[in-house]
Structures are given as structure tokens and as C-alpha cells.
Chain A
Amino acid sequence: MTNAARPRALAATVALAALVLPWVVARLGPAASYMLNLSVIFAIVAIALNLLTGFSGQISLGHAGFLMLGEYASALLTLKAGFPFWAALPASALLVGAIGFLVGLPAVRLSGNFLAVATMGFGLAVPEVMLNWAGLTHGSAGLMPKSPTIGGFSFGSDVAYYYLALFCLALVWYICATLLRSRTGRALQAVRDSEPAALASGINAAYHKALAFAISAAFAGVAGALYAHYVNFVSPNDFSIQDSFLFLAMIVVGGLGSLPGSLLGAVLLTVVSQLSTSLGQFSIILTGSVMLLAVLFFPGGLISLARRRRPTPRVPAPLAQRSAAGGS
């Protein structure tokens, strides 16, 4: 009973803390509030990337690209197509998810380093396209999406936006957790663990790999849309390959294949990278050092600190049982 109750109590505590957090952080000034909101948005990206890398075994160095596509999709849908934010957000998710599926198709035949380079190429291409497709995107002048409103209430303030982003994070988390427990989720993990065995079990590995890309991209698209309507400015300089590496660092530091780990890594690395932006290029060195230390000392990610070692029950070998029963 207590074994099941403990994580639930912890989750409740974390949820409660998350609800009062923006009021505490607001006392530290607008920079802290910005950092908090960015952490929540980046946590969505980290979960998205962990779904792809940690749970289905495919690396991506192009998630900054998906994030940017989400930004532009939502900004353009609201500004040029007249969508309300509440329709543009899910529409951006679907759109970026569809693009993710297409990116995932060639990735189905690639793995490891080759997949890293292919997705990196995608990540590098997106800002270039946004810069040069000026007729649609206004190039480097950028777009200025508005803060979302509901009725007469505007999500223009840091605290209000925090709750919006937190709601999206909770939703993405819930969808991921449900997905991972489902038949499809097990299939993703099976393909990660052993592709030959997955094929032999009748799992369409190619489809599930592309599906993982699609879902991951869709969530990154949600984060992009949230970011765009938070900072109210979208430009091709928003995210770069460095951010793709930062997202990867988040899940490695936090814990591959762990949803709480994604959150932990996202908050830690967002804070480290934001606090060190004034240091210029040294920021990357600092982020790199955090990653290096984490990998050296906690190869399972920071989340491995929280996991108690589960003792595996000592059970007599099956053969001993059988030969005792069989007698011959």
C-alpha cells in the first residue's frame, strides 16, 4: 500500500508546488519568471525528445527545427489565417506532427550517427527556409503573434502564461504516460530494445519509428506555439542547432526513458543556460560541463538518484525445479 501511495503523494506535492511556484518566483523579478516559463515550455520539448530518443531509441539533433516550425505555424495561422490561438495550437501540433512523420520516413532506414546527422540537417534547414521564404515569414523581420485571450482575459502576464504552459505540459505528460502504457507504446519500446525481435513479433518497425517521430514533433510543435505567443516575436534566430543539443543534454542529464527525468533535466539546463547567457560563448562550456559531469557520475541521469534499487527476488533456477520434479 505504502509503495503505491508514496509516488502518488510525491506527485501531489510536486503538483501543488508547481501551482504556487510562479507567485514565489515572481518576487525574484521578471527575469526569473521568464526563466520559469521557459523551463515549462522546454520541459515539453524534453518530454517530446525523450519519447523519441529515450523510449523509441531514435536520436534527433533537429528538435529545434520542429520547435521553430511550431512557432511559425501558430504565428501564421493566427496572424494570416485569422485562427484564434486555441485553434492554432492544436493545428500547429497536427501540422508539425505531419512534417515529423515525413522526416521520420527516411529516418526509418537510418540509426545512430547517421540519424543524428540527418536530423541535424533538418534542424539546420528550417531557420534557413524561414529566413528566405520572406513572402510568408517576413524573413529576419519576423512575426509578432499576440498573447492568447479567453473572453476578456489576456494571458499577457508571466503568471497567467505560466498556468497555460503548465496545463499544456501536464496534458503532454498525461498523453505520453498513457501512450507508453498502451500497446503502441510497448511496441515503440520493443523496437528500441530489439528490432529483429520486434519484426519477429509482428510489429511493423518502420511504421512505429515514423509514428514516434510524428508524435515527438507534434509535441515540439506545441512547445513552439507556446513560445511564440509568450515572447510575442518569432524570427529565424529564435532557435538553432545549439538548442537541439541543449534538448538532447536535458534528457541525457535528466534520464533517458524517464518522464520525470525529462522535467528535471529541462529545468536544470534551462536555468543553467539562461543564467550563463551573459557569459557569451562560455555558456556552452558551462552547459557542456553539466552534461559531462552528469554522464560521468549519474549515467542513468539525475532521476536515477531518486530510484531506489529494486531488489530482484531470488528464485530457484527453473531447471532445478524441473529436474527435481521430473526425477530423471
Chain B
Amino acid sequence: MLELRGVFAGYGPILGVRDLDLTVGEGQIVALLGANGAGKSTTLRTISGIVRPMAGIVTWNGRRVDRLPADEIVALGIVHCPEGRQIFPGLSVRENLRMGFFSRRDRSAYGRAEEQVFGDFPWMRARAGQMAGTLSGGEQQMLAIARALMAAPRLLLLDEPSLGVAPLVVREIRRIIEDIRRSGVSVLLVEQNARMALSIADHAYVLEVGEVAIEGAGAELREDARVQERYLGIRSGTGAG
């Protein structure tokens, strides 16, 4: 279980996140919604150790992780899949997967891990030798997720996996996230596509300028008038406005 308590984080004098409390339970999909600049990515970067929190604590299964370097956090099973299809374009598909395996000690398990990923993404098998930079946008996004899975995450931090990909790919990614959860891995999902996120999230937080504005079960938030109006584009029945 991941817990954030009173976390303040950001870049220099600018605070991205203020006094954030957040919990991701075992096997849960938790969505983090909000507009650009609301602090969603900052939250993920703080959890994965790329950004240091200025105050507050982050615990993972009871152990404090907010002072650990990023590579040790990965080794603990918290794996970040950063936004913007951050793959390694100059490496082949297989080399990208190998990089996902980088932090694992059980080197002999590589073959099994790769087979598992090829099971989830069958197209990758035939194209393992292709330069990752020549994949389509949606394929690159899937490769980024596959690479994160190679690290054997217990908690997957997914940053905007549906950003800029075709609707069909969004559906595919949604299915993959559900598969990931089914295999017992928790997911913290940052999304601007609130409709997709809320359709699979057990719990959701809405961030507004660095603070939690709304919080509740996924289904609950889908019915929330404020969420509907601001993030789902549904006008509530209170007339114009």
C-alpha cells in the first residue's frame, strides 16, 4: 500500500503540490485527475523519487521511501511510466524492454518476463529488432507500458497513457490497465481523459492547483455534478452556466 501524507512538492519556488494526502490500496486502480498544471505529474515524480518532497512523507508498505533515490524506488516495485511516450528511440524494441529489466536482480528471469510481455502485446514479438523510434505513437505508448512491466512492478505509476493516441488505442490501453490490475499490481493513473480513468478506477482524486478538490470512489465521482461539468463535459441540469 502506498500512502502520501501532507506532501508538499514542486520545482524551486513554485509549489506543484500542496499538503497532499493520497492512498493507493493493494490491487487498486486509483485515478488522479485534474487540468494542466494541477500537480498530477509532480505527484508521480515525487513518488518515484525524481522530485524530492519539501515536506510530508511517502510510505510504501509501511516503509518511508521519500528520501530514496529513484533507482532504489524502482527496485522496491514502484515503477513510473512517464508521460509523453518516453521510450528510447535509438534502441530496438527488445533493448527498450531490457532497459525496463535493468533494476531487477533475478537476471535469469528475463526470458520469462519478456514472454509475458509478448503475451500481453503480441505484435512486439515480430518487431523486437525494430528501432523503437520508428514505431507509431500508440505503439510507442504501449512499449513504454511494456517496459515498465518488465521491472515487475507492485505499483505502476502511469502518466497520461492516453495522451495523443487514437481512440482505438485508448481502448486497448484501458484493457491493458485492467489486465495489470487483475495480475495483482496496483495502478496510480494520471489522466486528463477523465471518462476513461473513472470507468476503471476504484478510487479517484481530483487535483486543482496542487490540492485535492474532490475525492471518492470512481463510480461516485462519475455521478458527481462538479466532476461531470468540469471534467466530463456534461452540463448539470441547473440551467445555463
Contact = CB atoms under 8 A, between A and B. Distances in A.
Interface stretch (B24-32, B91-99, B193-201): B91-99
Interface in A233-291: 257
A268 B222 CA distance: 66
A312 B69 CA distance: 39
Interface stretch (B9-17, B53-61, B77-85, B230-238): B77-85
B123 A318 contact: yes
B123 A201 contact: no
A106 interface: no
A319 B168 contact: yes
Contacts of A323: 168
Main secondary structure of the interface of A (DSSP, over half): helix
A319 to B, nearest CB: 5
A168 interface: no
A200 B86 contact: yes
A189 interface: yes
Nearest to B121: A318
B94 to A, nearest CB: 10
Contacts of A199: 48, 50, 70-71, 80
A189 B86 CA distance: 13
Interface in A166-214: 183, 186-187, 189-190, 192-194, 196-204
Given A189-B91, A193-B89, A318-B121, A200 B130 contact: no
A313 B123 CA distance: 12
A315 interface: yes
A202 B102 contact: yes
A317 B102 CA distance: 28
Interface in B95-147: 95, 98-100, 102-103, 121-123, 126-127, 130, 134, 136, 138-139, 142, 144, 147
Interface of B: 48, 50, 69-71, 73-75, 79-82, 86-91, 95, 98-100, 102-103, 121-123, 126-127, 130, 134, 136, 138-139, 142, 144, 147-148, 151, 168-169, 172
The 10 closest A-B pairs by CB, nearest first: A202-B103, A202-B74, A197-B86, A318-B123, A193-B88, A200-B80, A202-B71, A196-B82, A194-B86, A199-B70
Interface of A: 183, 186-187, 189-190, 192-194, 196-204, 257, 312-313, 315, 317-319, 321-323
Given A196-B50, A201-B100, 15 more contacts: A190-B102, A197-B87, A197-B99, A197-B147, A198-B88, A200-B70, A201-B99, A201-B148, A202-B151, A203-B102, A204-B69, A204-B70, A317-B136, A318-B142, A319-B168
